[in-house]
Structure formats: C-alpha cells, structure tokens
C-alpha cells in the first residue's frame, strides 16, 4: 500500500461525511467504546480547566470527555462532523466547537489537556512539527497531551507507531512520557509538560 506523503486534505474528510455520517462507526463499534473507556481511564486528573480536542469528528468521545473538563474546545476540519458533534453536546454549554484546519490554524488560549485521538497519522512531517510548535506554546506546565493511534495498515502519511514516536521525539526536551498502553489494534500514550523550575539562587 502506497503511503501518502502530504497531510490528508480537508476535502477527504468532508467527502467521507457526505456519504456516511459516521464513517468510522464511532456510535456503534465495541472497539471504539472500549478505546474511549481506556482513554478516559488514562487521564490523571478528575477535572481539567481548559481542554482542546483536535479532530473531534461527530463528538462521541467529546460527549464522554465533557464531564472531565470545565471548558472544552473541540475542533474538526469537516463542517458536517462539527454540526453532528455540536448537536450531540447541545446540553453541554461548556463545550465549544470550531471548524479549523490544524496546524495551519490554531485556537487562542492555553490548555492543560490536549486530546489527539486518531488524528496524528494524517499529518506530514512538516505539519507534525508545526503542530508540536503550537503545543509548546499552548500547553501549560504539567498539562497533558493524550495520543491515541490506530495500529492497523493505512495509506495515511504515518503509521500509528510512527505518529506517536514522532510526537515523543519532537517533545523530548519538554514533555515526559508518563503512561503508555498498547493493544492489538491501538496504542495510547500520555505525555506531561515538565513543571517550571525556579532558578537556583
């Protein structure tokens, strides 16, 4: 299978949702439900002040993540996905949505949780580096980055392992790997920004 070199374009996702409102079976898949259970269990804190979810799709994980966040901003490149996610979370006023093409676009503010579930392997090397540059500015000290990556074969720019290892390598000087789990079909990594240390007098 030929692997694409460039970041997967927004039209790819818009076209998917135009033919199938749930192209990855997020609503019905036992695999997705178990993966979401593991993702939420991997979070180290009961509540986060400000979270951003990159690639929220139709909002199934968003809905489950919402009670763990005081403010949650969820992003996706596809308008149909954003509309479905907003409808799913309509009774959650602390959850906001925006159509945004990351990393060329990036939200304002700083966050103590960044959720990157099943999105990293869509990025090229250059866009992965740009994403990490944004994270370095936006993630507060001791904030967490959660990576979830499918391990099956795809034609996307990166494998699941390649995507996760790229983030770990690019963040080696400011992020610590604090949790790592692996199943037959996906891997889950939690990284935490190092705390600010006071200068030695």
Does residue 198 have a pLDDT over 90?
A: no
> If you average pLDDT over every residue of the chain, what do you get?
95
**What confidence category does residue 5 fall into, taking pLDDT thresholds of 50, 70 and 90?**
confident
Largest CA distance in the chain: 63
Give the position of tokens 């951003």: 52
**What confidence category does residue 200 fall into, taking pLDDT thresholds of 50, 70 and 90?**
low
Q: How far apart are CA 61 and CA 32, in angstroms?
A: 9
In the 3-class helix/strand/coil scheme, how is the chain assigned residue by residue? Answer: CCCCCCCCCHHHHHHHHHHCCCCCCCCCCHHHHHHHHHHHHCCCCCCECCEEEECCCCCHHHHHHHHHECCEEEEECCHHHHHHHHHHCCCCCCEEEEECCCCCCCCCCCEEEEEEECCHHHCCHHHHHHHHHHHHHHEEEEEEEEEEEECCCCCCCCCHHHHHHHHHHHCCCCEEEEEEEECCCEEEEEEEECCCCCCCC
b or e along 147-162 (b: 16 or more beta carbons within 10 Å of the residue's beta carbon)?
bbbbbeebebbbbbeb
Looking at residue 167, its pLDDT comes to 98
As a residue count, the chain comes to 201
**27 neighbors 68 (Cβ within 8 angstroms):** no
- Averaged pLDDT, 88-94: 97
Does residue 192 have a pLDDT over 80?
A: yes
**What confidence category does residue 78 fall into, taking pLDDT thresholds of 50, 70 and 90?**
very high
**50 neighbors 78 (Cβ within 8 angstroms):** no
How confident is the model over 158-168, as pLDDT tens digits? 999 999 999 99
Looking at residue 125, its pLDDT comes to 95
Does residue 66 have a pLDDT over 70?
A: yes
- Averaged pLDDT, 139-156: 96
**pTM over the 0.85 mark:** yes
- Averaged pLDDT, 164-176: 98
Q: How far apart are CA 84 and CA 20, in angstroms?
A: 12
Taking only Cα atoms into account, the Rg of the chain, rounded to an integer number of angstroms, comes to 16
**77 neighbors 99 (Cβ within 8 angstroms):** yes
């Amino acid at each position: 299978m030929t692997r694409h070199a460039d970041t997967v374009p927004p039209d790819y996702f818009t076209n998917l949702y135009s033919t199938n409102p749930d192209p990855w079976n997020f609503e019905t898949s036992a695999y997705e439900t178990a993966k979401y259970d593991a993702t939420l269990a991997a979070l180290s804190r009961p509540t986060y002040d400000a979270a951003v979810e990159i690639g929220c799709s139709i909002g199934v994980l968003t809905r489950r993540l919402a009670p763990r966040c005081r403010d949650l901003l969820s992003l996706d490149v596809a308008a149909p996905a954003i509309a479905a996610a907003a409808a799913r979370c309509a009774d959650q006023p602390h959850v906001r949505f925006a159509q945004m093409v990351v990393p060329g676009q990036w939200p304002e503010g700083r966050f103590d949780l960044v959720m990157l579930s099943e999105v990293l392997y869509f990025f090229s090397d250059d866009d992965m580096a740009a994403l990490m540059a944004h994270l370095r500015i936006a993630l507060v000290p001791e904030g967490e980055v959660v990576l979830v990556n499918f391990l099956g074969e795809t034609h996307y720019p990166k494998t699941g392992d390649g995507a996760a290892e790229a983030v770990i390598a690019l963040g080696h000087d400011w992020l610590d790997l604090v949790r790592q789990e692996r199943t037959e079909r996906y891997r889950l990594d939690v990284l935490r920004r190092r705390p600010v240390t006071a200068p030695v007098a």
